[in-house]
Structure 1
Amino acid sequence: MPEASVVSPNRAWLARSSFVAAAAAVVLVLAVAGLRGGIGLLLAGALGSAAGLAGAWWFLTHRGLWRWLAGAVVVLAPVAVAVVYMRHRLLWVVIVFVLLWAVAVAAGRRALAEPGGGPRETATAAPLRPYLIMNPRSGGGKVGRFRLAERARDLGAEVFVLDGPAVDVEAVARQAVRDGADLLGVAGGDGTQALVAGVAAEHGLPFLVISAGTRNHFALDLGLDREDPSTCLDALTDGVEMRVDLGLIGDRTFVNNASFGAYAAVVQSPAYRDDKIGTTLQMLPDALTGISGPHLALTVDGVTVTGSQAVLVSNNPYTTGDIAGLGERPRLDLGVLGVLAVTVRGSADAARLISGRGRARSLTVRAATEAVVDADAPSVPVGIDGEAVLLPTPVRCLIRPAALRVRVPRQRPGNRPALPEMDWTRLRRLALAGRRS
């Protein structure tokens, strides 16, 4: 159906408002700064932006003195531009420009957002023999802090509390199925959730997610309450079921994503759990510049991309602006993998990637049912739902549509759809379509 026939008046109005605000921002700088300060002020703004972007890339890809000098450039470049404009009594131009551009982006992203939707909910009988696996160390001790084990037992669930890292979670879940469990659930991180979800899907049992992990990305995309994990237990007595997809990497299930390259190398480090930021900053230079780690080759839809610093394969696509897989997935039931590869060949590519201009050169984004990642090494480090794993190459990733029955509380916060990245071409079509309709 042509876009003109489906564009609501509100989306068309937002699209036009975005262009008006963007045009006003550009005209303001060209007119006021150009007339009062000449070409010098315009060049100062452009050079300041370029220096800041280049500094960000150097900060990520260098260590020691060069890193901190680059960090100083990132901070001082916009300050220097502001000082130049202040000397010409034009600081207000910078402030108004930033505000107008923020309005343009906010209105544009809202206009581009598609009407929401999600997996169909089905009312089913409450489980008679629910079996819950709980990790007392996950999320800084949320299991104990929210008395999850006691509350679950009061609701009739059998609870297995993990007492050490050597416990085979999959074996525990399989034994529970043999003993007659009619629901499996996990209070823990996404890596543990994925292992038990795979067992639940294999046996056609409903799966209960309890948001007791640190980041709880799967719970976020299911619309669960991440602040109070005890509310997830309401699904035992007043719940509904949804069918969602699962990812498969080799013979292992993932609920969120599998990452290769830069991020996977960082997660693989033994120091990562104790010092995430410090370990990331220490390892990123070699990972981003290709000095360490295997060279990756991604094949998707019959096309092979080589030389990528990072590859992310997700269970359903993230929003297009989320190049790290840290945000939200609008849907978990589209039956496709989200495939993203970042290939940066120098500071110019990095600047385009960071600024959002010309991302197509450095960013490969696909939705597919299969993706294969190969490397010039017999094995490759992979971060599977945040857990470090070493897998033999080539690594094959697949989507399993509607593989998992998820039981969630009837009353829950819900998943607020994430706004898409700016796409000026599509935004222009929306604005013009709204005018014609």
Structure 2
Amino acid sequence: MALAAAALAVLVPLGYDGLAGVLLLVCGAAGLAVASAAAWWTLTLRGPLRWAAGVLVLAVPAAIVALFAATLLWALPVSLALWGVAVWSGRYALRGTGSHRVRSKEYRTPPPQRPFLIMNPRSGGGKVDRFGLKEKAERLGARVVLLDPDEQQDITALARAAVAEGADLLGAAGGDGTQALVAAVAAEHGIPFLVISAGTRNHFALDLGLDRDDPGACLDALSDGVELRVDLGFAGDHPFVNNASFGAYAAIVQSPSYRGDKIGTSLDLLPDLLTGQQGARLTAKAGDTTLDSPQAVLVSNNPYRTGDPFGFGRRDRLDTGALGVLGVRVDGAADAAALLLDPEPAALTVLTVREVVVEADAAEVQVGLDGEALVLPSPVHCRIAAGALTVRVPRKRPGVVQRQPRLDWRRLRKLAATVSRTAAPRRM
């Protein structure tokens, strides 16, 4: 059904208006290429040319949609509906082929007796106060330390002091950078770590299946929880729970103005960073692959999904014992267009490895570590510590569901061929 629906989704527009349908598809592909090239010009040019390119980025897709809607009439919604049927059927067909997410093993353990939690009241726009996290944690028997917004405090030292005083669980309510620092101390001393989704984006909490809309629900792990064994990434001696970013993004987050004006700062710095006029020249060695002069390298604690738009930016597992590597080198508008149109663009490198070495043509390398700005000596050795971290999570959490498998059309075609051969009557 998936393959038939996908074929019909293409044939319906073609059959509706014959040659005009073919021309529309060509126009659509060309429009996407122009919009991608315009996006590159928007990021790398300045002044009136940048504004003109920005208008193209918005106007071309809008014109394509309007053209399709005016020309295809009923054929367009029918085609979209068929694509929906194709995607649903394909995912359903692949559920039993072993391509779906395997749930991490959970361990039932007694509740902690002396939990210690560090909370940042500024994170997430004040979620600690808004959700009454300190009060709930203390009712559950935890000792809570609130970070002082007006004073720079050593989070690692606070966590280590708590362990020395007998804490049998460490937790953090804050951004992923804070989470990583406390998690590293918990891993170092072999005690569980509690994630409280009180940051802005909470990517680590998301991939653990925690409720990002209600950080108070994370505290249920103190009384009714299970434990998971997950990996921890390191860039040099610095831990990360999500990723270490090198190149353009890492240089942008170093700017003092970034926190107050992220978009403005990015638009101001990107032209020089992407064209190589500013910033260090990077080389990344990942296994047998060497990335020469990439504009950006992202090293993640377990690989991100890249081939499935429905799960892009998510990690299927946190316990594979491998780093994910995404490297981007775009040399012009043509490469930018290929990133969108080519299924395997040359400008994008996707790898899964155990170690990555990133070096620069300078003594130091700028790094964005779980969103925090750092400058580390070059080269930077990134590694994965498999199963180093024990995470305590609520037994019931909304993100733990049977996830749909990645829609792989090649696997689907093979499955259909296998089923048809099996179902076909044998000749006597």
Global fold match (TM > 0.5)? yes
1:90 aligns with 2:72: yes
Residues 252/81 of structure 1: CA separation in 2 closer, same or farther (3 Å cut): closer
Q: Is the 8 A contact 2:244 2:298 kept in 1?
A: yes
Specify the alignment match of 2:52 in structure 1.
69
1:144 aligns with 2:129: yes
Specify the alignment match of 1:223 in structure 2.
209
Structure 1 window deviating more from structure 2 (243-252 vs 24-33): it is 24-33
Q: Is the 8 A contact 1:320 1:421 kept in 2?
A: no
The counterpart of 1:376, out of the listed 361, 367, 375, is 361
User: Structure 2 CA distance, aligned partners of 1:170 and 1:49?
Assistant: 48
User: Structure 1 CA distance, aligned partners of 2:61 and 2:80?
Assistant: 12
Structure 1 unaligned spans of 5+: 1-15
Specify the alignment match of 2:192 in structure 1.
206
1:182 aligns with 2:164: no
Structure 1 window deviating more from structure 2 (199-208 vs 343-352): it is 343-352
Q: Which amino acid aligns with 1:21?
A: A
Specify the alignment match of 2:289 in structure 1.
303
Q: Is the 8 A contact 2:13 2:72 kept in 1?
A: no
1:33 aligns with 2:17: yes
The counterpart of 2:182, out of the listed 189, 196, 219, is 196
Specify the alignment match of 2:425 in structure 1.
none
Specify the alignment match of 1:21 in structure 2.
5
Residues 123/92 of structure 1: CA separation in 2 closer, same or farther (3 Å cut): same
Structure 1 window deviating more from structure 2 (246-255 vs 46-55): it is 46-55
User: Structure 2 CA distance, aligned partners of 1:237 and 1:220?
Assistant: 21
- Name the SS for the 2:18 alignment partner: helix
Q: Is the 8 A contact 2:367 2:376 kept in 1?
A: yes
Residues 411/420 of structure 1: CA separation in 2 closer, same or farther (3 Å cut): closer
Kindly state the Cα deviation for residue 422 of structure 1 after the two structures are TM-superposed: 5.3
Structure 2 unaligned spans of 5+: 423-428
Specify the alignment match of 2:276 in structure 1.
290
Over aligned residues, Cα RMSD in angstroms? 2.5
User: Structure 2 CA distance, aligned partners of 1:423 and 1:306?
Assistant: 30
Kindly state the Cα deviation for residue 319 of structure 1 after the two structures are TM-superposed: 0.8
Q: Is the 8 A contact 2:305 2:313 kept in 1?
A: yes
Kindly state the Cα deviation for residue 119 of structure 1 after the two structures are TM-superposed: 2.1
Residues 70/404 of structure 1: CA separation in 2 closer, same or farther (3 Å cut): same
User: Structure 1 CA distance, aligned partners of 2:83 and 2:270?
Assistant: 31
- Name the SS for the 2:36 alignment partner: helix
The counterpart of 1:51, out of the listed 27, 34, 58, is 34
1:367 aligns with 2:352: yes
Aligned pairs (5 A) from 1:226-265 = 226-265=212-251
Q: TM-score, normalised by structure 1?
A: 0.88
- Name the SS for the 2:326 alignment partner: strand
The counterpart of 1:315, out of the listed 298, 301, 317, is 301
Kindly state the Cα deviation for residue 46 of structure 1 after the two structures are TM-superposed: 4.0
- Name the SS for the 1:359 alignment partner: coil
Q: Is the 8 A contact 1:33 1:42 kept in 2?
A: no
1:428 aligns with 2:410: no
Q: Is the 8 A contact 2:39 2:54 kept in 1?
A: yes
- Name the SS for the 1:361 alignment partner: coil
Q: Is the 8 A contact 1:330 1:417 kept in 2?
A: no
Structure 1 window deviating more from structure 2 (223-232 vs 157-166): it is 157-166
Kindly state the Cα deviation for residue 329 of structure 1 after the two structures are TM-superposed: 0.8
Kindly state the Cα deviation for residue 379 of structure 1 after the two structures are TM-superposed: 1.0
Deviations 1:179-200 (A, max 9, x none): 1111111111110110010001
Q: Is the 8 A contact 2:176 2:199 kept in 1?
A: yes
User: Structure 1 CA distance, aligned partners of 2:292 and 2:209?
Assistant: 36
User: Structure 2 CA distance, aligned partners of 1:75 and 1:216?
Assistant: 30
Q: Is the 8 A contact 1:329 1:418 kept in 2?
A: no
Kindly state the Cα deviation for residue 267 of structure 1 after the two structures are TM-superposed: 1.8
Q: Which amino acid aligns with 2:304?
A: Y
Kindly state the Cα deviation for residue 211 of structure 1 after the two structures are TM-superposed: 0.7
Structure 1 window deviating more from structure 2 (382-391 vs 114-123): it is 114-123
Structure 1 runs (4+) greater than 6 angstroms displaced: none
Q: Which amino acid aligns with 2:220?
A: D
Count of residue correspondences: 417
Q: Is the 8 A contact 1:33 1:41 kept in 2?
A: no
Kindly state the Cα deviation for residue 39 of structure 1 after the two structures are TM-superposed: 7.0
Q: Which amino acid aligns with 1:34?
A: G
Q: Is the 8 A contact 2:123 2:174 kept in 1?
A: yes
User: Structure 1 CA distance, aligned partners of 2:313 and 2:66?
Assistant: 35
User: Structure 1 CA distance, aligned partners of 2:103 and 2:268?
Assistant: 40
The counterpart of 1:121, out of the listed 99, 106, 118, is 106
